[in-house]
Amino acid sequence: MSDSAKENQNYDVVIVGAGFAGLYMLHRMHQAGRTARVFEAGSGVGGTWYWNRYPGARCDIQSMEYSYSFSEELQQDWEWPEKYSAQPDIEKYANHVADRFNLRSDIQFDTRVSEASFDDDDSSWKIQTDQGDVVTAQFFIMATGCLSSTNMPEIEGMDNYTGDTYHTGQWPKDDVDFTGKNVAIIGTGSSAIQSTPVIAQQAESLTVYQRTPSYSLPSANHPSDPEYVADVKANYKEFREANQKMPAGTGAEWLKDMNEPMMTYSPEEQQEIMESMWTKGGFTFVRSFPDITLDYAANEIAADFVRDKIRGTVEDADTAELLCPEIVIGCKRMVIDSGYYESFNEKHVHLIDLRDNPIEGIEETGIRTSDGLREYDAIVYATGFDAMTGSILKVDIKGRENKSLRDEWVAGPRTYLGLNSVDFPNMFTITGPGSPSVLTNMMVSIEQHVDWISDCIAYMDEKEFATIEATQDAQDEWVDHVNSVADKTLFTDPNCNSWYLGANVEGKTRVFMPLPGYPAYKEKCEEVVANGYEGFNLA
Shortest Cβ 487–ligand NA7 spacing (Å): 21
Q: What are phi and psi of 484, to 5 degrees?
A: -70, -35
Specify the residue, 212 or 489, whose C-beta has the smaller distance to ligand NA7: 212
CA angle (77 as vertex; 73, 78 as ends), nearest 5: 120
Specify the residue, 60 or 447, whose C-beta has the smaller distance to ligand NA7: 60
Shortest Cβ 207–ligand NA7 spacing (Å): 13
Shortest Cβ 151–ligand NA7 spacing (Å): 6
Q: What are phi and psi of 164, to 5 degrees?
A: -85, 140
Q: Is 361 helix (H, G, I), strand (E, B) or coil?
A: strand
SS (H, E, C) 36-69: EEEECCCCCCCCHHHHCCCCCCECCCCCCCCCCC
Write out the E strands in 48-189: 107-108, 113-119, 124-129, 134-142, 164-167, 182-186
Shortest Cβ 110–ligand NA7 spacing (Å): 24
Shortest Cβ 80–ligand NA7 spacing (Å): 19
Q: Are 57 and 86 in contact (CB under 8 A)?
A: yes
Number of other residues whose CB lies within 10 A of the CB of residue 155: 18
The gap between the terminal CA atoms of the chain, to the nearest Å, is 37
Q: Are 500 and 512 in contact (CB under 8 A)?
A: yes
Specify the residue, 211 or 508, whose C-beta has the smaller distance to ligand NA7: 211
Specify the residue, 48 or 415, whose C-beta has the smaller distance to ligand NA7: 48
Specify the residue, 135 or 200, whose C-beta has the smaller distance to ligand NA7: 200
Shortest Cβ 379–ligand NA7 spacing (Å): 11
Q: What are phi and psi of 245, to 5 degrees?
A: -85, -5
Specify the residue, 170 or 212, whose C-beta has the smaller distance to ligand NA7: 212
User: How far is Cα 165 from Cα 360, in angstroms, rounded to an integer?
Assistant: 18
Q: Is 81 helix (H, G, I), strand (E, B) or coil?
A: coil
Shortest Cβ 194–ligand NA7 spacing (Å): 8
Specify the residue, 36 or 336, whose C-beta has the smaller distance to ligand NA7: 336
Shortest Cβ 404–ligand NA7 spacing (Å): 27
User: How far is Cα 126 from Cα 134, in angstroms, rounded to an integer?
Assistant: 7
Specify the residue, 281 or 535, whose C-beta has the smaller distance to ligand NA7: 281
Specify the residue, 191 or 454, whose C-beta has the smaller distance to ligand NA7: 191
Position 230, amino acid: A
Helical H segments across 346-504, by residue range: 390-394, 405-408, 442-463, 472-487
Q: Are 18 and 121 in contact (CB under 8 A)?
A: no
Q: Are 490 and 294 in contact (CB under 8 A)?
A: yes
Q: Are 118 and 404 in contact (CB under 8 A)?
A: no
Shortest Cβ 192–ligand NA7 spacing (Å): 6
Shortest Cβ 33–ligand NA7 spacing (Å): 36
Q: Are 537 and 417 in contact (CB under 8 A)?
A: no
Specify the residue, 414 or 508, whose C-beta has the smaller distance to ligand NA7: 508
Q: Is 291 helix (H, G, I), strand (E, B) or coil?
A: coil
User: How far is Cα 263 from Cα 277, in angstroms, rounded to an integer?
Assistant: 17
Shortest Cβ 90–ligand NA7 spacing (Å): 12
Tell me the residue number closest to ligand NA7, measured at CB. 189
Got the DSSP string for 118-133? Answer: EETTTTEEEEEETTS-
User: How far is Cα 67 from Cα 20, in angstroms, rounded to an integer?
Assistant: 9
Query: Could you list the residues that contact ligand NA7 (CB under 6 A)?
Result: 147, 153, 168, 186-192, 209, 211-212, 333, 354, 359, 382-385, 497, 499, 504
Shortest Cβ 58–ligand NA7 spacing (Å): 10
Specify the residue, 206 or 474, whose C-beta has the smaller distance to ligand NA7: 206
Q: What are phi and psi of 208, to 5 degrees?
A: -100, 125
Specify the residue, 18 or 438, whose C-beta has the smaller distance to ligand NA7: 438
